[in-house]
Amino acid sequence: MVELLLPNPDRTLTTYRLSGTPIPFEKHAASDFPRIAYAAAHVVADPLASNDPWLNPAIDWDTTLKFRHRLWDLGLGVAEAMDTAQRGMGLTWTDAQELIRRAQAEARGRSDALIAYGAGTDHLVPGPNVTVDDVIRAYEEQVGFVEGQGGRVILMASRALVVAAKSPDDYARVYGRILSQVKQPVILHWLGEMFDPALEGYWGRATHDEAMDVCLDVIAAHADKVDGIKISLLSKEKEIAMRRRLPAGVRMYTGDDFNYAELIAGDEQGHSDALLGIFDAIAPAASAALAALGRGSDNEFFELLEPTVPLSRHIFQAPTRFYKTGVVFLAYLNGLQDHFTMIGGQQSTRSLQHLSELFRLADKARVLADPALAAERMKRVLAVHGVV
């Protein structure tokens, strides 16, 4: 039996015995699933590079791209160059361009590669002199790059727009201009302030309910250019309310890492597809659950996916913007990368207590692929923190 010492909230150490039976890695095709499911994928840092980690990201491209193939093998799509990849939080637009180029080249080599790319304005530094026209030009540059690579666009929220906009009309103007030009329908991305505090007040309104009205008006005016919208507000009630108001043919992609199981399952009035950061961390479980749903086995879907929800809620707990540390930590525990190092030094944003509870919850969710390897790697992290 695999066991190790883990710290408790009262600063004591207790032996923890792993009990979870890992969910096996089984290949699936996206056509096996009754929902479209994107995993927002992280990038793998290069810990051996000579660089300034806070200033100049160093990326292990081979391991990063290998991880994308793993997601495709499981039938999941890849939401590329998103916030899970530390976009605007360590990954610069220059780095994102290289990531998009490389990922699109890999996708071209497969017939089953579902992928879409984040396009935003993160190369434009928000400030009092930035205008709405500057925001439009910044969006046009990034959308043009993605489309120039032959990629599909996920239109990300803009920090610069929050500062430049004077009213909801400015949001309507910016989105109307960009949507009128795109070559194929895009996925909109409304990222809440819990994920990025700089996005508070998005859509020019103080409350989410008021902002939802503005967003829905934008979608309704350009429904033929909107495949769907991902909202990340961590509120199933708000997502369901918005889902029921979307124009026919426009999808809701859940970004709710707290309630995704029930939102994907849906109700008598509809369901959500998925574009989730947690699917990076729990990919085999997500794939198996979606395949079960495709077979009509709702019970198996919930049996596989519901145990991952406490893990996800822990990873995405406040400050939610630090969730990426938990995602990368699980990749390390599962042998998908050889180190627990992140661009920007973000491995330091969660405490040892947080990582220890993550380990326990991952075991209970059955997402530790090799318990012995995971325990050995957890012990290394504990030792760095003085627990031996």
Q: DSSP string spanning 57-92?
A: --B-HHHHHHHHHHHHHTT-EEEESSGGGTBTTTB-
CA 209-248-170 angle, to 5 degrees, is 45
Report the first-to-last Cα separation within the chain, whole angstroms.
19
Question: Domains of the chain by range and CATH?
Answer: 29-296+312-321 (3.20.20.70)
Q: Under a CB-based contact definition with an 8 Å cutoff, are residues 188 and 216 in contact?
A: no
CA distance 310 to 4: 22
pLDDT at residue 372 in the model: 97
- Reported in sequence order, the residue ranges of the chain that DSSP labels E, i.e. its strands, are 3-7, 13-17, 37-40, 77-80, 115-119, 153-155, 186-191, 226-232, 251-254, 273-276
Residue 26: what pLDDT?
Answer: 97
Q: Which two tokens stand for residue 369?
A: 């692929």
pLDDT of residue 16: 96
Q: Which strand (E) or helix (H) includes residue 148?
A: helix 132-148
Please state, in angstroms and rounded to a whole number, the distance separating the CA atoms of residues 370 and 47.
23
Residue-level pLDDT at 54? 83
pLDDT given for residue 20 in this prediction: 87
Read off the pTM.
0.96
Which residues in 192-278 belong to E strands, given as ranges? 226-232, 251-254, 273-276
**Predicted confidence pLDDT, tens digits, the chain (388 residues):** 799 999 998 999 999 999 989 999 999 999 999 999 999 999 999 999 998 888 889 999 999 999 999 999 999 999 999 999 999 899 999 999 999 999 999 999 999 999 999 999 999 999 999 999 999 999 999 999 999 999 999 999 999 999 999 999 999 999 999 999 999 999 999 999 999 999 999 999 999 999 999 999 999 999 999 999 999 999 999 999 999 999 999 999 999 999 999 999 999 999 999 999 999 999 999 999 999 999 999 999 999 999 999 999 999 999 999 999 999 999 999 999 999 999 999 999 999 999 999 999 999 999 999 999 999 999 999 999 999 8
Closest CA to 18 of 388, 379, 334, 359: 359
